[in-house]
Chains A and B, each alone.
Chain A
């Protein structure tokens, strides 16, 4: 039906609307009006996608000069497909209502095979693709460079956006990378000498261009046609490529030298950590490589590859990586750190040297996006606490809001289990996690729950090692055998094929009434991408608080950086990170208003205000004082009661007027008042 949102006519392709969707569109409209950025949190399963699409499309139609393009970024291919599906529905509805043939061009880039769309993207009104097309400098340059300034950019499922940013800017170099790079260099050398014999003019032409400098790119940037690329810093554009790497042979020689240096650096026996300036100083002393030519590396290589007309860029990924590294390390003196580890911590006997060039500042990668586009919307089901995102991404939003889920019945039941029946505290705290009593209590909790929860239970552990330890211990104590009498047990492993097999069998067991438990790991594949709708996840149990592995050097460096640069205390960040993953995990169970599920937090630390306060508002508001520090027995009683209540017949009519509205209901005075309360400004 048609909605009027503060004077904007919005076509909405469904007969009913959730109150929070209306509220969400309201906030979104305000953000667009202000031409600013926004952070919006709304629970999954409440129709975020369609609200976003219908409002922005309506906005585009109403003010074609203000907003020219919608860029919708999502995380995975299935998510992108879902967006396209919703978009199609919306477009059909438009066509039906207005009777006009649709003049909107929408484009979805989902996989590698339909990447070659460069000219089309300029004309499309809506572009749907993955984060990487916008954030990863290597790809963004190819795809997103020419997006108009007046675009609206949406990052959906953006709770991990800082990590995506960091990953896209970080480089890991192993011995294998170097070996492959070596091969690349040889191929280049051969091609160059061949071309020199056949078509020397081409190389001369390139040389001339490089002397001229990257003027074109500079002009383009000044006239604001392109999205700036963090790998191509401003200073470079002002200057010509230095003479030392201007000819093709010299450049290849240069790369070779650089490569040898890296190889030497990897030949170490102890861990080295240094900053970018330190690295540059060292490289100057050892092999006389200056900072300036390094900075041009990426651009120079690209030019060379273009000149040599090499079609298959994928083969040259190793050398491209190295050239990016060279440029980044010489450009940014802050925000990055270099860590060279001779072996992995877990296997100290096997030499496997890795050079981590790790980005510690997510704002570097996303800065061009915020700088260029007039509105950037960051949205997800779990973005709490909202204020931390603008801080770590370094931007100033005009709206920050968290929406609750209006429910006709309380279909989620968060419980914090803090003690076993023997009153021993339950926690995955480092000092007590190996404690026999803690492990036994965790086992008892799972055993009791397996007896009362129907169909599927998903249990999350904090890490693979912890899971292995606990499961082994349960096996010895005979707990595992008892659990298996109630349900089958499946375990997520680091092997993707094994895990998808386990998932498939898990779903089968849930489907045919046998019942199953899936043991998996927070931050693993299951915790992020897989939804457990309805019977596939009637309960989620989170064993412990999923803190990130704090001994990692990269993390330590990042925490230090956050403290120094953004005044975010280590503990605050670690808790925030742990809680967003916990929220992601438990959020797997509720995928809509007809769904229901138990959310069990099995660690007494969750009851503390600093942890609890970081959960999304839609979970927090169902967390009563009475469910903060429960024993296993109390948990079982509450769960039983909850499951029985939820099993009562529930039809659409019961939702109508409360959490599902028709147009008339929406327009009533007191409903609008209620809607105003849904959004909470942060």
Chain B
């Protein structure tokens, strides 16, 4: 009769004070709402990332997902685990969209142990499939920060020095069960230049503060689901490359896509090399990408050639990560009162109502806060400048 016995109904869940979200600040008081501070921080991040910094485009990222008992908490709907995995799927897609020549791996930790869900790989489909499967797993015991960091480190330490080595921990529990002193491990991670960032789901934990501070990562705690998503998206953008990382030329192959139709008599169906290690049924396909070095065939890009080890990418992929190299410069912020001209945002055509307006330094067009963020976070080019370019 009861189809979902283990999942509590919405009304059975925790007591919530939803009206608290709509908190009004008593005017004149010294209290500044946290939201305000957050907004300021967001703006600041935009500025920070727009200095002339080298960004690490080739990233090796391990995501550690806490799957301990505390992930069953219902404060994210339907529970923390499901919500987290959903957002991770989105994250993986975004990640490969923005970092086409990077790799990702997923580790889960529960019951004082850590295990690899997926190894470092550049194929989003495989990760997403694994994430989908993980939804049904049970959350038991305590997480082990030490074990999972150690596991990630074992793989990351063999990665070449010019790549950016990162770990992102989604940490729900407030405790960690470690077999050894974690501060030693933090030192080792720091020595290996592995950057560890943490997203906390419940509250600020001291050891995470230290961990992120020592390794140069960021530490944030979510307020609610949308904030969670926002924080994850922050990790999509590649971090500044550490100055000490080596510069080197990387060999890359740009395989051509050979299209063959069924009607073509010469076309021979063949297996893709990426099926070698996949558990799924191998499929015969006609067309594909052929490695320019050894002629091995692949159906999807980007991939590392199984035969000769060459990194295979497509030109559009590389072009997509191009904007990381030449980021759009920060717009100039001026208070609304000082702004004289017509109060229209160039992008959304809406009226400028916020405290301040933003002016592009190149084309002198004016934008509102929301559009400013959108332009810098998503578009990466100024629509005003594009227009003037075309005109001239």
CA distance A674 to B30 in the complex (A): 9
Of the candidate stretches A166-174, A285-293, A366-374, A644-652, the one touching chain B is: A644-652
The answer for the CA separation of A472 and B205 in the assembled complex, in Å, is: 30
How big is chain B's contact interface, by range? 35 or more
- Per-residue CB contact flags for chain A residues 380-412 toward chain B (1 = under 8 Å, else 0) read 000000000000000000000000001111100
Contact B183 A512 (CB under 8 A): yes
Q: Are A633 and B14 neighbours in the complex by a CB distance under 8 Å? A: yes
Take A407-B31, A641-B20, A647-B221 as given contacts and tell me if A633 and B203 are in contact as well, using a CB distance cutoff of 8 Å.
no
Q: Residues of A contacting B223 with CB < 8 Å?
A: 644-645, 648
Q: Which residues of A18-70 are within 8 A (CB) of B?
A: none
> 0/1 per residue, A645-666, Cβ < 8 Å to B?
1111110001000110000000
> Could you tell me if B15 and A514 are in contact, using CB atoms closer than 8 angstroms?
no
Q: CA of A630 to CA of B232 in the docked complex: distance in angstroms?
A: 35
Cα-based distance from A640 to B17 in the complex (angstroms) = 11
| A511 engages B202 (CB within 8 Å) | no
B390 interface residue per 8 A CB criterion: no
A454–B205 contact, CB under 8 A? yes
Q: Does A445 contact B (CB under 8 A)?
A: no
Min CB distance A666 to B, Å, is 15
For the complex, give the distance between the alpha carbons of A330 and B223 in Å.
68
* Cβ contact within 8 Å between A654 and B40: yes
Interface residues in A611-667 (C-beta closer than 8 Å to B): 633-634, 636-638, 640-641, 643-650, 654, 658-659
- Of B38, B177, B221, most buried by chain A (CB within 10 Å of CB) is B221
Query: CB of B312 within 8 A of chain A?
Result: no
Structural contact, B30 and A454, CB atoms closer than 8 A: no
Interface string of A101-131 (1 = CB under 8 A from B): 0000000000000000000000000000000
Whether A643 contacts B203 in the complex (CB less than 8 A), given A650-B37, A654-B37, comes out as: yes
> Is A425 an interface residue when CB atoms closer than 8 A count as contact?
no
Interface size of A by CB at 8 A reads 41
Chain B, residues 180-207, CB within 8 Å of chain A (1/0): the string is 0111000000000000000010111111
Contact A634-B15, Cβ < 8 Å, known A410-B31, A512-B183, A648-B38: yes
Partner of B32, one of A408, A512, A633, A637: A408
Q: What 1/0 flags go to B7-24 for Cβ under 8 Å of A?
A: 000000011110010000
B32, B40, B202: the one contacting A452 at CB < 8 Å is B202
| B108 located at the interface, meaning its Cβ lies under 8 Å from any Cβ of chain A in the complex | no
The interface residues of chain B lying within 8 Å CB-to-CB of A679 are: none
Q: B363 at the A/B interface (Cβ < 8 Å)?
A: no
Interface string of A497-526 (1 = CB under 8 A from B): 000000000000011111100000000000
Could you give, for residues 125-158 of chain B, a 1 whenever the CB lies within 8 Å of some chain A CB and a 0 otherwise?
Answer: 0000000000000000010010000000000000
Asked if A637 and B175 make an inter-chain contact with CB atoms under 8 angstroms apart, the answer reads no
Secondary structure of the B side of the interface?
loop
What is the CA–CA distance of A265 and B223 in the complex, to the nearest angstrom? 69
Inter-chain contact A644/B176, CB cutoff 8 Å: no
| Known contacts A486-B174, A514-B175, A654-B40; A643 and B32 CB within 8 A of each other | no
How far, in whole Å, are A510 and B204 apart by their CA atoms in the complex?
A: 12
**Cβ contacts A471-498/B at 8 Å (1 or 0 each):** 0000000000000011100000000000
Whether the Cβ atoms of B222 and A649 lie closer than 8 Å is no
B275 → chain A closest CB, angstroms: 42
The yes or no answer to A535 lying at the interface (CB within 8 A) is yes
Inter-chain contact B14/A514, CB cutoff 8 Å: no
A409 near B34: Cβ-Cβ < 8 Å = yes
User: Is B109 on the interface with A (CB-CB < 8 A)?
Assistant: no
A427 CB to nearest chain B CB (Å)? 22
Q: Known contacts being A513-B182, A633-B15, is A643 close to B176, with CB within 8 Å?
A: no
Per the bound structure, the CA–CA distance linking A451 and B14 in Å amounts to 14
With A and B bound together, what is the CA distance between A647 and B175 in angstroms? 16
Contact yes or no, A637 B178, CB < 8 A: no
Least CB distance, A656 to chain B, in whole angstroms: 11
Chain B residues with Cβ below 8 Å from A256 are: none
Q: How far is the CB of B222 from chain A (nearest CB, A)?
A: 7
Instruction: Report chain A residues within 8 Å CB of B178.
Output: 512-514
Please tell me if A534 contacts chain B, counting CB pairs below 8 Å. yes
For B183, the chain A residues whose CB sits under 8 A away are: 512
> Which residue of A455, A641, A659, A674 is within 8 Å of B205 (Cβ)?
A455
The chain A residue sitting closest to B40, CB to CB, is A654
Q: Is B98 an interface residue (CB 8 A)?
A: no
B75 located at the interface, meaning its Cβ lies under 8 Å from any Cβ of chain A in the complex = yes
Identify the closest chain B residue to A650 (Cβ): B37
Chain B residues near A511: list those with CB within 8 A. Answer: 206-207
Cβ–Cβ contact B175 & A407, under 8 A: no
A453 close to B (CB within 8 Å): yes
| Chain B residues closer than 8 Å to A633, beta-carbon distance | 14-15
Q: What separation, in Å, do the CA atoms of A408 and B30 have in the docked complex? A: 6
Tell whether, in the assembled complex, residue A513 and residue B145 are in contact, meaning their CB atoms are under 8 Å apart: yes
Q: Point out the residue from B175, B207, B220 that lies within 8 Å of A486, measured CB to CB.
A: B175
What residues of chain A lie closer than 8 Å to B175, measured between beta carbons? 486-487, 513-515
Known: A636-B14, A659-B30. A514 touches B203 (CB 8 A): no
Residue of B nearest to A637 (CB): B15
Q: Is the beta-carbon distance between A454 and B31 smaller than 8 angstroms?
A: no
**CA A530 – CA B32 in complex, angstroms?**
31
Q: Which residues of B contact A644 (CB under 8 A)?
A: 202-203, 221-223
Residue among A513, A535, A641, A674 with most chain B CB within 10 A: A513
Q: Which residues of A contact B40 (CB under 8 A)?
A: 654
Query: Are B207 and A647 neighbours in the complex by a CB distance under 8 Å?
Result: no
> Contact flags (1/0) for B27-61 with A, using CB distance below 8 Å?
00011101001101100000000000000000000
Q: Are A454 and B222 in contact (CB under 8 A)?
A: no
> Roughly how many angstroms separate A621 CA and B344 CA in the complex, as a whole number?
44
Q: Quote the shortest CB–CB distance from A495 to chain B (angstroms).
A: 28
The answer to whether A512 and B181 touch across the interface, beta carbons within 8 angstroms, is: yes
Enumerate chain A residues within 8 angstroms of B70, measured Cβ to Cβ: 451
- Residue B345 at the A interface, CB < 8 A? no
- B101 contacts partner chain A, Cβ-Cβ < 8 Å: no
CB distance from A645 to the nearest CB of B (A): 5
| Interface pair B30/A515, CB less than 8 Å apart | no
Inter-subunit contact A643/B202 (CB<8 Å): yes
- Docked Cα-Cα span, A670 to B161, in Å, equals 56
Judge whether A647 and B200 touch: CB under 8 Å: yes
- Please give the distance in Å from B173's CB to the nearest CB on chain A: 9
**B143 to A, closest residue via Cβ:** A513
* Chain A residues with CB under 8 A of B16: 637
With a cutoff of 8 Å between Cβ atoms, the chain A residues found around residue B142 in the complex are 485
In whole Å, how far is B345's beta carbon from the nearest beta carbon of chain A?
27
Asked if B366 is at the interface of the complex by the 8 Å CB criterion, the answer is no
Q: B208 interface residue, CB < 8 Å from A?
A: yes
- Smallest beta-carbon distance A419→chain B, Å: 13
Which of B182, B206, B220 has its CB near the most chain A CB atoms (within 10 A)? B206
Q: Do the beta carbons of A453 and B206 come within 8 Å of each other?
A: no
**Chain A, residue nearest B182 (CB):** A512
A406, A485, A510, A649: the one within 8 Å of B206 (CB) = A510
Residue pair A658, B32 in contact (C-beta under 8 Å): yes
Interface residues of A (CB under 8 A from B): 406-410, 451-455, 485-487, 510-515, 534-535, 538, 633-634, 636-638, 640-641, 643-650, 654, 658-659, 674
| Given A451-B70, A454-B205, A515-B175; 19 other pairs, CB 8 A cutoff | A407-B30, A408-B30, A409-B31, A409-B32, A452-B203, A454-B204, A455-B174, A512-B182, A535-B206, A637-B15, A637-B16, A644-B203, A644-B222, A646-B203, A646-B204, A647-B203, A647-B204, A648-B41, A658-B32
Can you report 24 residue pairs joining A to B where beta carbons are below 8 Å apart? A408-B32, A409-B32, A452-B203, A454-B174, A454-B202, A454-B203, A455-B206, A513-B178, A513-B205, A514-B178, A515-B175, A633-B14, A636-B14, A640-B75, A640-B203, A643-B202, A643-B204, A644-B223, A646-B203, A647-B203, A647-B220, A648-B223, A649-B37, A659-B30
B interface with A by C-beta (< 8 Å) = 14-17, 20, 30-32, 34, 37-38, 40-41, 70, 75, 142, 145, 174-178, 181-183, 200, 202-209, 220-223
Listed from nearest, the 8 A-B pairs whose CB atoms lie closest are A513-B207, A647-B221, A535-B206, A647-B204, A643-B203, A454-B203, A513-B176, A454-B205
